[in-house]
């Protein structure tokens, strides 16, 4: 139900006079009324038009109201549609069972027009409030999810920040240690990045950082992780990857970045990276020790002239 359309009410009753009375009564209030006379037809109509409210007679020959209601609630697409049961005034058993099985209300025959209208208005308002609350809850959940994601992401480059990367790395290190699986870490550094900042300015430098980070992120597997370690340094976590495979990846990344052209307001800028690679060894008792060895390999790559890969 929305503010732009009249609420749709489905009336299910096999007695023509009751159906006519309720249809006239509710149509006069500008409701969009859809009458049906059988339980099976009611289920088809409910799944087709998705009414805002159902007025459901309990006693029908082909399928009673309880069975209609049971099938309605068993379908996730229609389970939230409110149902007001209809039955004879003196049938206490029907009234009790109607509430026990989950009906939102009960209208007794013969109908009292003012009572019918009051109950219909109440439950349409409640349904609308429930939908609004559900929509607000969904939006809140999306906002919380976005906030949680932002807390894990480096705002400049779009890859994991150092804190979240360490959280992932400790988890993968524990798994690799427990099950004796290979685990490799790569440290990447953009060569002579200070010169890019000094020559072109920090805004252009930031653009180069983003381009390198996102290029690397798109080259690794879903199971792998990339984080910004600090400044122009990035770190890769490669689960179930031994040193030879990691070196192959690192070399591919080195070549890819060397060929990368970053289009900026100051023209096309290119960059290269140095990469240090370290595979977990029994002596690596913590993820920090493994990262430190990768960092040492990175410095060895820099000493060898940069734009190269060194593994340990």
Catalytically annotated residues: 232
- Beta-sheet strands, E only, within 37-73: 53-57
CA 25 – CA 15 distance, rounded (Å) = 16
Name the CA dihedral angle for 221, 223, 228, 234, rounded to a multiple of 10 degrees: -50
Alpha-carbon Rg for the chain in angstroms: 33
CA 106 – CA 120 distance, rounded (Å) = 10
How many residues are listed for the chain in this entry?
312
CA 190 – CA 261 distance, rounded (Å) = 14
Terminal Cα-to-Cα distance of the chain (whole angstroms): 65
Strands 225-230 and 183-190: unpaired
57-95 burial code (b ≥16 CB/10 A, e <16)? bbebeebbbbebbebbeeeeebeebbbbbbbeeebeebb
- Report DSSP letters for 253-305, one per residue: HHHHHHH--EEETTEEE---EEEEEEE--TT--SHHHHHHHHHHHHHHHHHTT
CA 309 – CA 248 distance, rounded (Å) = 10
Q: Which residues contact 257 (CB under 8 A, 6 or more apart)?
A: 212, 215, 216, 271, 272, 273
């Amino acid at each position: 139900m929305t503010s732009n359309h009249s609420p749709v009410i489905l009336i299910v009753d096999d007695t023509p006079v009751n159906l006519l009375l309720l249809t006239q009564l509710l149509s006069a209030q500008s409701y969009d009324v859809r009458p049906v006379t059988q339980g099976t037809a009611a289920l088809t109509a409910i799944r087709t038009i998705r009414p805002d409210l159902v007025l459901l007679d309990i006693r029908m020959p082909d399928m009673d109201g309880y069975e209609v209601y049971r099938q309605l609630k068993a379908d996730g697409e229609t389970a939230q549609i409110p149902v007001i049961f209809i039955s004879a005034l003196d049938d206490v058993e029907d009234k009790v069972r109607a509430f026990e099985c989950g009906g939102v209300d009960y209208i007794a025959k013969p109908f009292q027009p003012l009572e019918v209208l009051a109950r219909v208005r109440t439950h349409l308002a409640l349904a609308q409030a429930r939908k609004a609350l559900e929509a607000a809850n969904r939006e809140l959940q999306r906002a919380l999810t976005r906030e949680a994601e932002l807390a894990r992401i480096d705002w400049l480059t779009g890859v994991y920040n150092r804190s979240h990367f360490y959280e992932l790395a400790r988890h993968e290190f524990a798994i690799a240690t427990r099950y004796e699986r290979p685990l490799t870490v790569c440290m990447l550094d953009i060569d002579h990045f200070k010169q890019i900042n000094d020559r072109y300015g920090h805004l252009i430098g930031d653009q180069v950082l983003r381009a390198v980070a996102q290029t690397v992120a798109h080259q690794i597997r879903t199971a792998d992780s990339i984080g910004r370690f600090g400044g122009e340094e990035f770190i890769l976590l490669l689960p179930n990857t031994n040193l030879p495979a990691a070196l192959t990846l690192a070399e591919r990344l080195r070549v890819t970045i060397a060929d990368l052209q970053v289009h900026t307001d100051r023209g096309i800028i290119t960059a290269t990276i140095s990469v240090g690679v370290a595979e977990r060894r029994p002596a690596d008792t913590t993820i920090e020790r493994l990262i430190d060895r990768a960092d040492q390999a990175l410095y060895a790559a820099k000493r060898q002239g940069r734009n190269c890969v060194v593994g340990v």
